Homo-oligomer: A and B are copies of this chain.
Amino acid sequence: MRKQFAELPRMSAFKHKPFLKTGDDKDTLADGKRLRVIVLGGNEEVGRNCTLLEYGNDIIIIDMGLQFPDEDMPGVDYIIPNMSYVKGKEKNIRGVIFTHAHLDHIGAVSHIINKIGNPPMFATDLTCGLINKRHSEYQDKPQLNLRSVKSNDVLRLGSFTVEFFGVAHSVPGSMGIVVNTPCGTIVHTGDFKIDDNPGSQSIQETEKIKALGKRKILAMLADSTNASQPGRQLPEHEIQTNIDEIIEHSQGRLIIGTFSSMISRIQQIIFACERHGRKVAIEGFSMKSNIAIAQELGYMKIQKDTLIDSKRIDDYPRDKVAVVCTGAQGEERAALMRIANREHKTLSIEPGDTVVFSSSVIPGNERMVQRVKDTLYREGADVIHYKMMDVHAGGHAKQEDLQELLGWVRPKYLVPIEGHYSFLMEHAKTAERAGFPHDNIFIADNGQILEFDHKGNGQLTNKKVPTEYVFVDGLGVGDTNRIVLRDRKELSGDGIVIVVAVVETQTGALLNLPDIISRGFIYMKDSQELIQSARRYSAKILKDDNPKSAANPTYMKEKLRDDLGEFLYKKTERRPMILPVIVEV
């Protein structure tokens, strides 16, 4: 029997958190069918956002994002939400809705689609365009059943009725979701900031959001990404002003490295270049295709003669052109790195050029970013770091914004989502300071089930559905597990030593001096003495075995692993993985 629910193994969150309903076994809700809300990913972490709503035989899913692996997950490409909960219930999925076009909200679709049937999916046109573009990179996957919606559309999905409201974020077409359920109305903000006039074809539908406050919203799930930060997020027009200033004061050729998904920021850069008389060359494949999609759908306004091909850039004075490219994270093959290293076909740095890094550095990339910067300094560039163009900067509500939204929507319950546990807690504290009753704030772990009854009461249960990481690794989805990762980490630490011994099957007698092959342990050419003594020591270990009895490879392997490991540790203070290969002939 598949174990769908697991008791939460550790109850400290309940014991100590005043914000949590006690969650003990007593069930305070009315009998009858209940609405379940389960955050499958995005809590206790940043990334792989995915939330599930279930009532009877109806399920809808909001977002299917990916997360980038930590440094202790070598070889892993992405982490995606764990969809075990819907196994066997695929036919119940009435729809998947995407809030906006960033990878931590859409990136897992192509990896998950085979596991959830092929339900209808809904998003604004730009989000659809970027989902389709990404999906086209994966062969052998079914075509998506993806439909474009507008913010005034209403969807009937089983017992749910879904509405939308436009929100301000760093990509156009971002929406919050309103789900009317038999137990009450749930609001999911997606990623958002508070900004009445975000520009770039984005629209914050303030009146629609405020109108929610009159509809007795049961619960609001809201973005906690910047909940640790006091005050208010910068409005987009100020970000635009800052970008204008940087571009106005740039010397020489201007090169701006940013993310290709930051459609609104790229638009602002292009606006500023147009105002300051710079032509713009776009570099990087994903950058070009994203801009093309956004332009086609009317989400980017670019004057006819603004964009130029980088091949023709030398036709213009250096201070009349700008290059917008990928690579602000020091990615090895991205345009910025190639430009810095003089490996780019048409672009290079001259002294006095200006290079703008438009993002804060993602943990793990510091070394590479510093390396690119140093190279750019050596080439004579002026280097500017402007974090406000970052993925997670500028686009998310800060504490006062969160309080304002709460005042508009006035939900009965608040469920902070999207962020490490500490972010969720800061969100809760922020709400409390604004007078929100702390018993009505649910801080859910990933997978922890929230239930709501028909009387409009909710509780954070102590039941949990599976949310263990699912790794995407090459073509494999979910086949790289903790054991494989543990081995990779062990291998990377001190390498591997393979001992090959040939023994006589009948007697277990060793037929020659065992061979030793190592990789990543020690430089073998310079360590012949150590290798020879390890061979002799291995022979000794194997000869200690009773020569009269038949070979017992399992026992011999274990002995080699332990004793040779100890021998090598004493000699080197390193602990390579020891892999004995016993060949019986």
Contact = CB atoms under 8 A, between A and B. Distances in A.
Interface of A: 12-13, 16-18, 44, 70-72, 74-75, 351, 363-364, 366-367, 370, 373-374, 377-380, 383, 420-422, 425, 473-476, 479-481, 483-485, 487-496, 498, 500, 502, 515, 517, 519-523, 526-527, 571-574, 577, 579, 581, 583, 585
Given A492-B74, A496-B496, A474 B378 contact: no
A519 B351 CA distance: 49
Given A488-B492, A492-B492, A581 B500 contact: yes
A118 B72 CA distance: 40
Contacts of A17: 378, 380
Contacts of A571: 475
Main secondary structure, interface of A, reads: mixed
Contacts of A70: 367
A379 B520 CA distance: 41
A577 B519 contact: yes
Contacts of A71: 71, 364, 367
A184 to B, nearest CB: 29
Nearest to A525: B483
A425 B493 CA distance: 35
A526 B484 contact: no
Contact of A422 (B383, B495, B520): B383
Contact of A523 (B483, B493, B494): B483
A496 B497 CA distance: 12
B520 A484 contact: yes
Contact of A75 (B475, B488, B574): B574
Contacts of A485: 520
A507 B500 CA distance: 22
Contacts of A484: 495, 520-523
A504 to B, nearest CB: 11
Contacts of A495: 75, 484, 487-488, 491
Contacts of A475: 571-574
**How many monomers of this protein are in the complex?**
2
A374 B421 contact: yes
Contact of A366 (B363, B422, B523, B581): B363
Nearest to A485: B520
Contacts of A493: 74-75, 488
Given A16-B378, A475-B574, 15 more contacts: A13-B378, A18-B351, A370-B420, A377-B425, A474-B573, A475-B573, A476-B522, A479-B526, A484-B520, A485-B520, A488-B492, A488-B520, A496-B519, A500-B581, A583-B583
B520 A491 contact: yes
A572 B480 CA distance: 11
B523 A474 contact: no
14 contacts: A13-B378, A44-B374, A75-B574, A370-B420, A373-B420, A374-B422, A474-B494, A479-B522, A487-B495, A488-B494, A492-B492, A498-B579, A502-B585, A583-B583
A485 B495 CA distance: 9
Contact of A476 (B44, B480, B574): B574
Contacts of A502: 583, 585
A581 B517 contact: yes
Nearest to A370: B420
Contacts of A523: 479-481, 483-484
A413 B498 CA distance: 56
A581 B498 contact: yes
A330 to B, nearest CB: 12
